[in-house]
Structure 1
Amino acid sequence: MANPRILVTRPAHQAEGQAELLAGLGLDPVQLPLLEITPVSESDPGFALLKSRIMDLDLYHSVIFISANAVTAGMDLIDQYWPQLPVGIQWLAIGRQTAIQLEAYGITALQSAAGYDSEALLSLPQLQQVGEQRILIMRGAGGRETLAQQLSQRGARVDYADLYRRSLPPYTSGQISSTIGDKPFAAVLLTSGEALNNLTKLISEHGLKTLQRTTLVVPSERVARIANELGYTRVITASGPDNQAMAETVLSTIDMDDRT
């Protein structure tokens, strides 16, 4: 029997590692990135503000990185304007992978053991008394507002460094057909609410009704709620958004007989 097919939807530069892990576990990963990451360039209207935030880095008490993509884009800019990192900054990361990415740049970041989202980070003791502190959030443009809203309510002065833009890759009907075809998937891996919304858009535009009935593996209860609200009925929440956690959850949903 053919190996169960798993739809991998991470951005292209992150999908390969997840696909290799799944293949090593006896699954058949199929890549269809649902997010395209485009760093803000110097020609972008928002670049001047972004540059000013980076130039003022030493004025912030805390700098929070939302994702591994924010680390890559943010540290590229910081390296350009800060040959040496400014001292005295409290670095924070949402999620283990983001913290690991920062370690590669010599930064030890605080993270929450309680989860992989803004709510988990907000539970850290270091973010409870932040009155008058300046905090910079390194993120993609148009991300969730929960973190900034809560920190502002606690008295912090919060700024954004919008480092990149996210979009749905421009797939043609032919590309969708050749990638997905008529063969069913055992599961679809989704690591964000935005990827889920983009999947829903593709289902609507290309009539991919079988995907709507496929098991979705998502990284958090928040994304699971969004999936349920969108009408998906087979939704499983992994213990986190990292490749290992998602892969373990996929294996737990597939009968052993299906993998023999």
Structure 2
Amino acid sequence: MSYSPYLLKGQKALVTGASSGIGEGIARSLASAGAAVVVNYHSQAQEAQKIVDDIKAANGEAFAIQADVSNEDEVKAMFSQTLKHFGTIDILVNNAGVQKDAPFVDMSLNQWNTVIGINLTGQFLCAREAAKEFLRRGVQPQISSAAGKIIYISSVHEVIPWAGHVNYAASKGGINMLMKSIAQELAPHKIRVNSIAPGAIKTPINKSAWDTPQAEAKLLELIPAKRVGNVEDIAKAAVWLASDESDYVNGTTLFVDGGMTLYPGFADNG
């Protein structure tokens, strides 16, 4: 996917969980639109470096940082490295996430805490550090009309209950109010905070749901648009939310789901 290289020219971005899937797509697209990008990863060092190398080969600017977003010290160190390398940051994409599924009565406290820690607490920690820098630096009108942009990657499961995945759904529901509350607090400082809620997207984490014709046909029953999304669908939305073209958009969730939240089971009168 190519964009005008001037759309995000001069801006510095950090994408968490960017070594594969949606995060990788967003990192590559932000770079294509002119941003310099930090590719955060937890354990996939080679994959992250390959993304960095590809961005550089296309005359972009990027580097990789390992950090567990649920660990406060590691998040602070990641932002310290970012500021040391880039001088500042303009865009944070809070993408890192994980699933640890189990029936509710069998779910362990560790499964609960791991998912909440990465999906919700991690997004809090990263947004807090980004906001500190946005507030310190203020608006640079030659770069952007906003002092900074925070984009949460949520899920349709911030509004759709999901039996067997209560920790994941709870984390995404939490992201919704976390995003809105931060947006309300930071809007007077010209800081924009929004979310993207993907539906079914073809990524490694959910490959079993779409990698056979039978599995994909079953999945399509939940999608009025009758296609499974791809990472470019999410990346395009992220580039738009990171740019001044969405300058009056603040505190909202953009559902990119092919209509999954339209309750397709009611299409024939339920």
Instruction: Please tell me the TM-score bracket, short chain as reference.
Output: 0.3 to 0.5
Question: Highest CA radius of gyration, 1 or 2?
Answer: 1
Structure possessing the higher relative contact order (Cα contacts under 8 Å, 6 or more residues apart): 1
